[in-house]
Chain A
Amino acid sequence: MSEADQPKPRLNPAERVGRALALTALVVGGFFPFVWMVLTSLKNEGELQKFPVQYLPSGLNLGNYARVFSEQPFAQFFTNSLVVSLLATALCIVVAVPAAYALARLHVRGRGVLLTTVVAFSMFPVVSLLVPLFRLFRGANLLNTYPALILPYAALSLPVAILTLVAFFSAIPRDLEAAAMVDGTDRVGAMLRVVLPLSAPGMVTAALLVFVNSWNEFLLALSFNTKLTMRTVSVGVTLYQGEFAFPWPLIAAAVVIATVPIVLLIAIFQKRFVAGLTAGGVKA
């Protein structure tokens, strides 16, 4: 499992070159579009309208970043996204942990059917839920409020959170709980004192997946929270384009700001993300 333990494969020179090329392609391909937006965001219109393309900006022109905040309430968009994504993540995990514990640990009849049902829920097309949810939230006076996004985001990510957690819970040895129960605690006590602390990494992983999904969601945010001060960043970045004009340096700056949280999370938690996707996708 641990990558440090793996022996280094013996490679002949041709294979070395091939591997170097593949790695370079991977790194350039993954980073370039994002790096290109950073470079574009530092240019002015004049530098932009050159062909052949001028790759590097002539200076550190941060004016576009200032305009992102002055032309739209982008700080508000950012706060909205942060609040909605964090609360959706919290709600999703609080609901997913007990369900996943039951599916992984207790004698549940029809466990296979239940897990398949959970998977089936992740197949619902979001666009099919748009109109009925809109009506539901309008009736409940929830449009243009945080719950209008928090509830669907938590629900939409619930399947992947449950599947990821089931995989993590299943990997914890049952003997540990049994031992705790012999020592006098009941099942709920064993769950709270033994299983949950041990599965903290699993919960972090699931939470990261939910956060990224919520931060990136576009369609429901576009349709439910139409008041300018209730917009999220994924919708906010599209608001700089006029009907015919695309102020690309400005859009690029907005894009860079909007992806900062995602890039930071990826850089810090890259191993957790890989573990989460693998666990949720394959093992469950």
Chain B
Amino acid sequence: MINRSTRPQRRETSEARLAFWLMLPAAALLCGVLLFPMLTTLRDSLFLNKLTEPWLRGFVGFQQYAQMAGDPRFLQALRNTLFFGVLTVGGSFLVGIPMALAAHTPSRIRGLARVALLLPWAMPPVISGLIFAWLFNGQYGVFNDLLVRAGLIQEPLRWLSTPGLAVVAMVITIVWKTSSFVALIVLGGLQGIPRELTEAAEVDGATRVQGFFRVLLPLLAPSLAVAFIFRAISAVQVFDIPYTFIQQAPAQGLLETLGVYIYRTSIEFLDFGYGAALSVALFALSLAVTAVYVRFVRDEGTT
């Protein structure tokens, strides 16, 4: 608006040209390292390509997708993924929201609380898996020790080698690791809400609990939606923690997620074709979640 001597159209074309050059390196990196390989996977999924049976090669169309429907291991992995997804996303909200509220209230140890909030989020997932495998150790684990001391169990539980318990252990591990993310996004939302709003509700006679559900929660809806979408996508793709757990747990079938099954199909069984088809299925699942996100962003309006 300041530079009146230039005509608006010309300024817009020169700006558009500048913008193009500024965005080009990012576009090149994203397309070269992410988009192109993804398209390769899409193509690979239509071809047989198994290193252990190199004589069976060639275009098979959607045959490998049809194969999934009759593959009990895939169906199990899909069920596991969805099951863990529901439990860990739900769990991370149940734990994460109170964490955010605790970290939001002013206190002398706010800095410490914030570090405690960030640590699980920033910890490498593989390392979180290792730490919790140790906490859940069947002989000398802390969880067993606490449960025995509390008188809740007589003998140490073999968490990782008992299928049902291994599932519980993994859910707890993933919830520990991911609640922080939910808490941080919610904390961001809380910081954007003027305190007067919650105080006004209190003056009107609402208890703190009522104030939370009637005033705070609706205002937090955008943050919660963002946290939900990102959590849902990471849950669908979860790999590192199940991979670490499976190394230590004989109860493998119940712990194998889609991500782990794809890795094993491609890298351990060297079946690149079927692995690619499974990858596309996982991507489709992620896209389904993304579609919800896009719709949400469109409804809210980008600013």
* Residues of chain A at the chain B interface (Cβ within 8 Å): 1, 3, 6-9, 15, 19, 22-23, 25-27, 29-31, 33-34, 36-37, 40, 48-53, 91, 94-96, 98-99, 101-103, 106-109, 111-112, 114-116, 118-121, 123-133, 135-136, 151-152, 154-156, 158-159, 162, 178, 181-182, 187-188, 212, 215-216, 218-219, 223, 234-235, 237-238, 241, 246, 248, 251-252, 255, 258-259, 262-263, 265-267, 270-271, 273-274, 277-279, 281-282
Contact = CB atoms under 8 A, between A and B. Distances in A.
Interface stretch (B52-60, B63-71, B110-118): B110-118
A136 to B, nearest CB: 7
Contacts of A265: 122
A270 B34 contact: no
Interface stretch (B37-45, B86-94, B162-170): B37-45
Given A23-B107, A101-B22, A124-B38, 17 more contacts: A30-B117, A34-B119, A40-B134, A52-B145, A53-B142, A106-B18, A119-B297, A123-B290, A125-B236, A127-B263, A155-B32, A158-B30, A259-B124, A259-B127, A270-B118, A274-B187, A282-B222
Contact of B124 (A6, A128, A234, A270): A234
Contacts of B161: none
Interface string B280-299: 10110011011001100100
Contacts of A40: 134
A155 B36 CA distance: 12
Given A96-B26, A125-B283, A132-B37, A108 B19 contact: yes
A30 B119 contact: yes
A96 B23 CA distance: 8
Interface centre among B37, B142, B181, B272 (most CB of A within 10 A): B37
Interface of B: 1-3, 12, 15-16, 18-19, 21-23, 25-27, 29-30, 32-38, 40-41, 44, 98-99, 101-103, 105-107, 109-128, 130-132, 134-135, 137, 139-142, 144-145, 148-149, 156, 176, 180-181, 184-185, 187-189, 191, 195, 199, 208, 222-223, 226-227, 230, 233, 236-237, 239-240, 243-244, 247-248, 259, 262-263, 266-267, 272, 275-276, 279-280, 282-283, 286-287, 289-290, 293-294, 297, 302
Nearest to B49: A131
Interface centre among A116, A154, A270 (most CB of B within 10 A): A270
Contact of B122 (A135, A241, A273, A278): A273
A170 B267 CA distance: 44
Contact of B33 (A22, A30, A151): A151
A9 B118 contact: no
A91 B275 CA distance: 31
State the main secondary structure of chain A at its contact with B: helix
